[in-house]
Amino acid sequence: MRNISEVIFKDLGKIDFKKAWEYQEKLFEKIVSVKGQNRDLPPGEQIKIKNHLLFCEHPHVYTLGKSGSENNLLIDQLQLKAKDASFYKINRGGDITYHGPGQIVGYPIFDLELFNVRIKQYINKLEEAIIKTLSIYNLKGERLKNGTGVWLDPETPGKARKICAIGVRASRFVTMHGFAFNVNTNLEYFNYINPCGFVDKGITSLEKEVDAKIDINNVKLVVREKMNEVFEFDKMI
């Protein structure tokens, strides 16, 4: 049985990666702290948990998860600077990925116990929200066996291409980081990494697949709606 799962939604717009990361950490630590306090309180006196869903876009940045290899970044610091890009080692799972303009980055800071889901189910639900979004644009998003994220033609050699990367951190069933959905993303920036550690698979975007520039604000509305549908929020404010 799930508890009440209210979610506060906020679109941060275009924001520096480090600034958004620090903001996530504050929300994350607040939820963890409240959960700790609630363990010592009777049910009628427990503090209400506030879940958060953040959307944003970042300037050009590469992030490397704690299980990733720095060898998957194929350019050096001088080349990064020339590309107006930055690089961070961060505390999520997964390998290296790129964030940049034209990409919807979603950061759910959720207490998974309120949703009655485990981490594997949580990642599955993030993927499902993007798959449902792609269906609105007549695209068949799928999962890759032994991989995360959302793909097109995942099992077809030479055609498999990722459209949404997923990398999360979870502690005490509280999540942070999340997904990066390529809408009008400049895909050239993926040439300078082995995306998510893969060397034999491609990267794509919504714009490339439908062969038209997409209004990213409209896509955000769809993703938000599908997140609500998949996670069955009791309330979003």
Strands 51-57 and 6-14: parallel
DSSP string, the chain: -----EEEEEEEEE--HHHHHHHHHHHHHHHHHHHHHHTTS-GGGPPPP-EEEEEEE-SSEEEE-TT--GGGB-S-HHHHHHTT-EEEE-SSSSSEEEE-TTEEEEEEE-BHHHHT--HHHHHHHHHHHHHHHHHHTT---BPPTT--SEEESTTSTTT-EEEEEEEEEEETTEEEEEEEEESS--GGGGGGB-GGG-SS-EE--HHHHHTS---HHHHHHHHHHHHHHHHT-SEE-
Q: Exactly one of 27, 109, 196, 216 is catalytic; name it.
A: 196
> CA of 96: how far to CAs of 37, 46, 228, in Å?
36, 39, 28
Examine the residue annotation and report whether 56 is marked as an active-site residue of this protein: no
Strands 61-64 and 96-99: antiparallel
User: Which positions are annotated as active-site residues?
Assistant: 196
